[in-house]
Amino acid sequence: LRASFSSKAQKENNQNFNHKLQPQASFKVAVLGAAGGIGQPLALLIKMSPLISDLHLYDIANVKGVAADISHCNTPSQVRDFTGASELANCLNGVDVVVIPAGVPRKPGMTRDDLFNINAGIVRDLVSAVADNCPGAFIQIISNPVNSTVPIAAEVLKQKGVYDPKKLFGVTTLDVVRANTFVAQRKNLKLIDVDVPVVGGHAGITILPLLSKTRPSASFTDEEVEELTVRIQNAGTEVVEAKAGAGSATLSMAYAAARFVESSLRALDGDGDVYECSFVQSDLTDLPFFASRVKLGRKGIEALIPSDLQGLTDYEQKALEALKPELKASIEKGIAFAQKQT
């Protein structure tokens, strides 16, 4: 499983995963929203990590049974459940990585921004608790709209005096996972080899796959670029419509988030060769937050990778300029929301 998250280059290191169930390190991970559609399979997948000693599962309801169930898996981490705001501080105490999939999902006809009114407050309150109880943790935000919830989290952390931009991440791994899958299918490539950087943000046209930077290099006709780009941008909606009112992507999202958690833990454990795309504070464009490939290390983001944005095709350059106004507005909406609260 761990090998399947990784590139070919990383695979060699991971090949003994199934035989090495003793923890190689002892990191504590908390999932906030752990009883939800994403939270449950995410908790199950990361229960398989040999890098986790303690897995804390938090939700406002229904988390006791999820934790009891997952705790029977004979993998190293100890699972504990925490229910409701009164148990949140205990859940977060001493945690290294906090993953936040709490909040409502889309139904057909909705945009991610339609979730703002409910999810903005949820993310604000959870990140405020993170600031109070584990301010040094990596914070990984899944709750939509990511283009606004990450700026909200940054403002809350600033207000608490503990903002470290190197440790705040919007989880956009699912966009990369989808891009890799669709490109491999379209070009008949081996899935494990394919890596497509996806930049910008996580909603509609703000999701910009850089097909020209696909590794191993692949050539695409103009029609293929258009078709693949639009499919990757609309993949979330594809799932929302297929689920027909029963929510949005949960299983592929859990897979993607588990990959991001695993990458973060490897970086925390000293692996010097960990790269992921994420929506982070950035100076790669004129926007204050932007998704790009980042190098992860023990202290969080060690470097943003500017090279993906160099030498773009005309199509990509136009798409990059076109996404900026929408992404800027979503970022500003998040910041204004958080500043209004003080």
Distance CA 335, CA 323 (A): 19
80 or 187: CB nearest ligand NAD:
80
In the shown chain, the binding pattern of residues 17 to 56 toward ligand NAD, with x for contact by CB under 6 A and - for none, equals ---------------xx-xxxxx-----------------
3-class state of residue 195 by DSSP: strand
CA angle 319, 227, 254 (to 5 degrees): 85
Residue 253, interface with ligand NAD (CB under 6 A)?
A: yes
Write the Ramachandran bin of 58: left for phi over 0, alpha for psi from -120 to 50, otherwise beta.
beta
In the shown chain, the binding pattern of residues 58 to 77 toward ligand NAD, with x for contact by CB under 6 A and - for none, equals -xxx----------------
3-state helix, strand, coil in the chain (%, to 5): 50, 20, 30
Distance CA 99, CA 42 (A): 10
Are the beta carbons of 29 and 46 closer than 8 angstroms?
yes
Which option in ligand NAD, ligand LMR, none does residue 240 bind, with CB closer than 5 to 8 A by kind?
Answer: ligand LMR
Which option in ligand LMR, ligand NAD, none does residue 268 bind, with CB closer than 5 to 8 A by kind?
Answer: none
| Residues that contact ligand NAD, how many (by CB under 6 A) | 32
Q: What CA dihedral angle connects 157, 161, 162 and 168, to 10 degrees?
A: 30
Query: Minimum distance from CB of 74 to ligand NAD (Å)?
Result: 26
> 109-148: which residues touch ligand NAD (CB under 6 A)?
115, 119, 122, 126, 142-144, 146
In the shown chain, the binding pattern of residues 61 to 100 toward ligand LMR, with x for contact by CB under 6 A and - for none, equals ----------------------------------------
Angle between helices 173-187 and 235-243 (to 10 degrees): 90
Distance CA 13, CA 17 (A): 9
Query: Minimum distance from CB of 330 to ligand NAD (Å)?
Result: 13
Catalytic positions are 202
Specify the pairing of strand 52-59 against strand 78-83. Answer: parallel
Residue 264, interface with ligand NAD (CB under 6 A)?
A: no
The residues, ordered by sequence, that sit 6+ positions from 335 with a Cβ below 8 Å of its Cβ are: 151, 152, 154, 155
Among 103, 151, 200, 334, binds ligand NAD (CB under 6 A): 103
Query: Minimum distance from CB of 236 to ligand NAD (Å)?
Result: 7
How many CB atoms are located within 10 Å of the residue 295 CB? 15
Among 250, 263, 292, 330, binds ligand NAD (CB under 6 A): 250
| Window of 125-133, 233-241, 274-282, 290-298 that interacts with ligand LMR by CB under 6 A | 233-241
Q: Which residues bind ligand LMR (CB under 6 A)?
A: 105-106, 112, 144, 174, 236-237, 239-240, 248-249
